[in-house]
Structure 1
Amino acid sequence: MSQELLDLIVEKIHTLQGEEVIEEAKLNFEKPMIILGSDHWNLATAKLLHDEESLQFDFLSCVTGVDYEEHMEVIYNLYSTKLDHYLYLKVKTPREEPVIMSADQVWKAADYMERETYDLLGIDFPGHWRLKRILLEDDWEGHPLRKDYITDKKALGLD
């Protein structure tokens, strides 16, 4: 079932955007995983995953950001409560200017999780209704989960 689901998702995205948009598609721990560049992650693709009758990814369980030094990624863990299947969707973005379209217009659960990713990694989410820091003080400098973040006395509470 998992390989069939992966093939179906790939087919639907290719039909929507063309063959070249998916950087990688494979099974990861028996669950479908797709990697898209941030230039191919858009509202139409999010709505396709959410609304398409054969997919119905209606539940966003987690949004995670990762700094790989050469690029950054945001991972969306999607689940269909109606069809009982999963998708790991990774969206890659350049590290120098990390920008990924917000998913909060389709999955409201993205709200706080994208804000946390913005706060800690500095990834911008255009289209987010209220993108601002959620964990750190508004005047905090930098993003502490980035590989290039320099920990100072303030960050350690010694100031």
Structure 2
Amino acid sequence: MSEETKAPETKAPEATKAPEAEAAPEPVDPRIEQATERLEFLRGKVVAKFGEDVLEAAELKQFQPTITIKNQHWVEVVEFFKTEATLGFVYPELMAGTDYKDYIEVYVLLHSFTLDYDVSLKTRTPRENASIPSITPLFAGFNWEEREIFDLLGVNFPGHPDMRRIMLEDHWVGHPLRKDYVVEN
């Protein structure tokens, strides 16, 4: 077809553009909302009683309020969680230790029947001369856990009523859960 025989181009009327629909906000997971409220409540209680200086961190870990306490304030803050009437974290669920190469962290999980939920409390110690004050006087059930952490990670717990090896023989050298542990043949 030659240019002379082409039909004239007509412009289609512009369709009225619909306003772009705003993307609906993603729904907030109710578990995150609830855990965040719990974390802020607990953090507020600690700060009101002791000030910000006792905390290293307050965060959620898998929907769990997790509060990291400076080592020198460990006993007093754990005792507060247990004895404060509005908190009542009286049930010790577990205690464990982990070597992170730069420091060793001790973790406890406590349950409150008053609030009907758990809190994770952590503290840290340098690897050299690792030491964390014992909370066995507050929770006798953590006696063996502190001894196990002492035995396997080398963390001393001043104030523990019977700090000695629990799993390894007395003549054992080193702490096998340390990242730098070397098995000697």
In structure 1, the residue corresponding to 2:98 is in which secondary structure? strand
State how 1:25-36 maps to structure 2 within 5 Å. Answer: 25-36=58-69
Q: CA deviation at 1:15?
A: 2.5
The answer to whether the 8 Å contact 1:16/1:45 transfers is: no
The answer to whether the 8 Å contact 2:71/2:123 transfers is: yes
1:40 alignment partner, one of 57, 66, 73: 73
Does residue 79 in structure 1 map to residue 111 in structure 2? yes
Name the aligned partner's letter for residue 149 of structure 1: Y
Name the aligned partner's letter for residue 179 of structure 2: K
How big is each residue's C-alpha offset from its partner over 1:88-141, in whole Å with a ceiling of 9 and x where there is no partner? Answer: 111011111211111111111110011000000000111111111000011111
5+ unaligned residues in a row in structure 1: which ranges?
154-159
Larger CA deviation: 1-10 vs 47-56: 1-10
Name the aligned partner's letter for residue 125 of structure 1: F
How far apart, in 1, do the equivalents of 2:115 and 2:58 lie? 20
Q: Highest CA radius of gyration, 1 or 2?
A: 2
The answer to whether the 8 Å contact 2:110/2:120 transfers is: yes
Q: Give the TM-score of the pair, scaled to structure 2.
A: 0.78
Corresponding position of 1:65: 97
State how 1:1-159 maps to structure 2 within 5 Å. Answer: 1-42=34-75, 44-153=76-185
Corresponding position of 1:157: none
Q: Give the TM-score of the pair, scaled to structure 1.
A: 0.90
What RMSD in Å do the two structures reach over aligned CA positions?
1.3
Name the aligned partner's letter for residue 134 of structure 1: I
Q: CA deviation at 1:148?
A: 1.3
Superposition misfits of 4+ residues, deviation over 4 angstroms: none
The answer to whether the 8 Å contact 2:152/2:178 transfers is: yes
Q: Which has the higher strand share?
A: 1
How far apart, in 1, do the equivalents of 2:37 and 2:160 lie? 33
- Give the paired residue count: 152
Ranked by relative contact order (alpha carbons within 8 Å, sequence separation 6 or more), the top structure is 1
